Amino acid sequence: MAQLPRIYITQPVAQGAIDRLKKVADVRWNPNPLHIMTQAELVAAVHDNDILLCLLHDHIDAAVLNANPDLLGVASMTITPADIDIPTATQLGIPVTVIPALLLDDATSDLAWGLLLSLVRRVTEGDRLLRSGTFPGSQSRYMEGSGLTGKTMGIVGMGGVGRAAAARAHAFKLKVIYHDPKRLAPADEEKLRLTWVPFEELLAKSDFVSIHAKLIPETRHLFNDAAFNRMKPAAYLVNTARGPIVDEQALVHALKDKRIAGAGLDVFENEPQPHPELLKMPNVVMTPHTGSAITELRGAMANVVVDNILALIDGKQPPNCWNAELYKDNK
């Protein structure tokens, strides 16, 4: 009997996905959902297995990829494998697979709105206040925040998540402007009730700025000192895209100098460590990169990864292969 392929999973994923893999492979995993594997642990896992199933927070560098010359593939549960050394993987002939972006559109947009509402209505502040034993009175000015109706939301990046965020904005009777280097067709703008503006104009006019852009060289530190200087002092920033789009040191300065009113962040420039000053600020609401943290969604994501892995085991091109050029001779 031929030996089953060996698969290592860097943290627990949906049980249904693991059960599917167990039917065709010897599956092992790191059981601690709070432990991010170190480089040494990843090297050991790759050395002893045929396929690595990794998550967004795993850093798969050249040392990890070179740990097993017979590695069949790296199956990532992320949309863009920013923390995987793709050039090295491709050079070594190792397929790297991802998941489709559209899976996360609604969940990420929901979280962006959760952060914004918590921020402008001071929900987390109120929660901490009440737990500390303080009840300022139901009409006390102590907890006044900002309203939404009739104000302007600026969305940076009009992909699937941006469109989902815009749809929700209209429910709050907000005017929606957006900036994306690839402008939508006029018919789509009319249908979605969107107005394209230059980036600088978006910053100047928006009461709420929500980031839904991809992390590419052009968007790294897109939000810097100059950008914050263009925003309204009463404006709020929300980032559920990628941390390095925001220069966190510049954000800290802008918040301290009251050049903007507050920030809601699910992603950070140097994960897993936010800038320490952000942790002290009451006008900052943070979550630990949980845009996809919905049980049903995570199950769907894990099963897409399984689909990719089953293709790798069968020697076929996976349906979501990032470096698909490895298969060009098979077409």
Residues with active-site annotation: 242, 271, 289
Q: Are the beta carbons of 222 and 213 closer than 8 angstroms? A: yes
CA distance 119 to 98: 32
Q: What are phi and psi of 178, to 5 degrees?
A: -145, 160
Tokens encoding 74: 């790296």
> What letter does residue 260 receive in the DSSP assignment?
S
| φ/ψ bin of 111: left (φ > 0), alpha (ψ from -120 to 50), beta (otherwise) | alpha
Q: Are the beta carbons of 322 and 96 closer than 8 angstroms? A: yes
Q: What angle do CA 157, 95, 294 make, to 5 degrees?
A: 50
Q: What are phi and psi of 154, to 5 degrees?
A: -110, 125
Q: On the CB side of 127, how many CA atoms lie within 13 Å of its CA?
A: 8
Parallel/antiparallel/unpaired status of strands 96-97 and 208-211: unpaired
Q: Are the beta carbons of 74 and 60 closer than 8 angstroms? A: yes
First-residue to last-residue Cα distance in the chain: 32
